[in-house]
Amino acid sequence: QVQLVESGGGLVQAGGSLRLSCAASGRTFSSNYPMGWFRQAPGKEREFVSALSGIGLSLPFYASSVKGRFTISRDNAKNTVYLQMNSLKPEDTAVYYCAAKIGGSWSNLPSEYTFWGQGTQVTVSS
């Protein structure tokens, strides 16, 4: 089993920054797992934000809505994945979730991720 715990959410003004963290633990967790960040706003479906490919490559991928503003990274020594969010906009307001995918490469589909964190709220005021 894998446990994921997000932190770092909060309330920020438009144009501000936040850094989300996702700490992974569990006997079966592998640093080779692709890791993803997703978000869900009230009344909307969960959507892809960013992901890191697995298999030791850690190549980053971004949704077009956040590209150039968000940066995903991982620290394998700490089993932690980060999402640095800059130039935040009110439309970035959502609950942000990290997720781990077992095997294969990254995906932008929530259904392909096996383990999920509990989520952390990000609110951007205008």
Say yes or no to pLDDT of 53 above 80.
yes
pLDDT at residue 122 in the model: 98
Mean pLDDT of 12-40: 91
Say yes or no to pLDDT of 56 above 70.
no
pLDDT tens across 67-99, in order? Answer: 999 999 998 889 899 999 999 999 999 999 999
Q: What is the DSSP letter of 93?
A: -
Say yes or no to pLDDT of 55 above 80.
no
> In terms of pLDDT, which residue wins out, 103 or 98?
98
Q: CA–CA separation, 121 vs 123, rounded Å?
A: 6
DSSP 36-88: EEEEE-TTS--EEEEEE-TTTT--EEE-TTTTTTEEEEEETTTTEEEEEE-S-
pLDDT level of residue 54 (50, 70, 90 thresholds)? confident
pLDDT at residue 16 in the model: 98
